[in-house]
Structure 1
Amino acid sequence: MTYQENYLSWLRDAHAMEKQAEEMLEKMTSRLEHYPDLKARLQQHIEETRQQQQMLQQVIDRQDTSNSTMKDMMGKVAAMGQAVGGMFASDEVVKGAISGYVFEQFEIACYTSLIAAAELAGDSEGARVFEQIREQEKAMADWALNHLPDVTEQFMVRSAQPDTEAKK
């Protein structure tokens, strides 16, 4: 494959990844009831994710290609499966917070690779966009890691109380 072919494939993958992220964040946020700080930050990141999708779409359009409907759909299906699976865990909020942090690290790695691919393919504007998105993902990952002890503690305190729901 040429530099351009790999780059465009990974660009479409990034678009699908952000669709998956939006779906996962929306599902998790809709279920949160007892963790207002986490819910607020996730809602903020949903908006960032939607903006990232628009930014990626602009890069895709500028490259005179299209996003992959199949990849976008598969990402949404995967996100739905993850959300449904988490609903049955008694410690859903903790597992969700951990999974969210891991997903942010995955996104950071993907954008790091995409920046290198964009530069090699001669798309310096795309590289700039991916750097901007990567910074947002780093900020979310940092927040998730720094607040994971709080979420865990809140869960444990709630779960130790009789007749108190803690999982969401």
Structure 2
Amino acid sequence: MPATEIRDVFVTGLRNAHAMENQALSIMKPQLKRIENYPEVAEKLDQHIRETDAQIVRLEDILDGLDEDKSTLKDLALSFTGSMAALGHTVADDEILKNSFANFAFENFEAAAYKSLLTVAEAGGYGAAVTRLQENLAEELAMAEWLNDNVVALTTKFLALRQVGETAKV
């Protein structure tokens, strides 16, 4: 594949990842505001929101290094869909569980996107981007692992709180 095509694929992937991270923020921030009885989840979400902010900066640095801009339209579109997804769970009696399942799926989606971007970066000789992309990938994998490791405890706590009439929200 010609270098220009690899570059095009790489830039498109970076723009998509930037929009994906903005979508992640639009999903996590409303969740964090609604959590009251699950401080361990709130703490982890807050941490991952900060990581996501840093991931966006890393992606912008890579795009800047390529003299490319992010895609504002993609950012807006995916942020909107993320907000709608987060809103959809607020009416569920098991909101905390649904959010956890959706977050687990999304973290794995993000990890796959970064693995793909790393492959393109290596194929195109974009070594300067690799370290930043690996940092983003490691954070996504760590969050997915935390969600996976905590689903049983979260479900157990949900059942115990539900038994006494408590919920995930105010």
1:160 aligns with 2:163: yes
Number of aligned residue pairs: give it: 166
How far apart are the structure 1 equivalents of 2:163 and 2:168? 12
Q: Hey, what does 2:134 align to over in structure 1?
A: 131
Moved over 4 A (4+): none
Q: Normalising by the residue count of structure 2, what TM-score does the alignment of the two structures yield? A: 0.94
State the percentage of identical aligned residues: 32
User: In structure 2, how many angstroms separate the alpha carbons of the residues matched to 1:113 and 1:70?
Assistant: 22
Contact residue 36 and residue 168 of structure 2 kept, 8 A? no
1:150 aligns with 2:153: yes
**Cα distance in 1 between the residues matched to 2:128 and 2:27:** 29
Cross-structure match for 1:119: 122
Secondary structure (helix, strand or coil) at the match of 1:90 reads coil
Q: Is 1:68 the counterpart of 2:77 in the alignment?
A: no
Equivalent residues of 1:116, 1:127 under 8 A apart: no
Match in the other structure for 2:109: 106
> Please, which runs of 5 or more residues in structure 2 have no aligned partner?
none
Unaligned runs of 5+ in 1: none
Structure 2 residue 28 is the aligned partner of structure 1 residue 25:
yes
Scaled by the length of structure 1, what TM-score is found? 0.96
Aligned partner letter, 1:97: S
- More displaced, 120-129 or 92-101? 120-129
Per-residue CA shift, 1:98-148, capped at 9, x if unaligned? 111111100110000000011112211112211111011111111111111
For 1:21 and 1:156, the matched residues in 2 are separated by 27
Between the aligned partners of 2:125 and 2:60, the Cα distance in structure 1 is 18
Counterpart secondary structure, 2:92:
coil
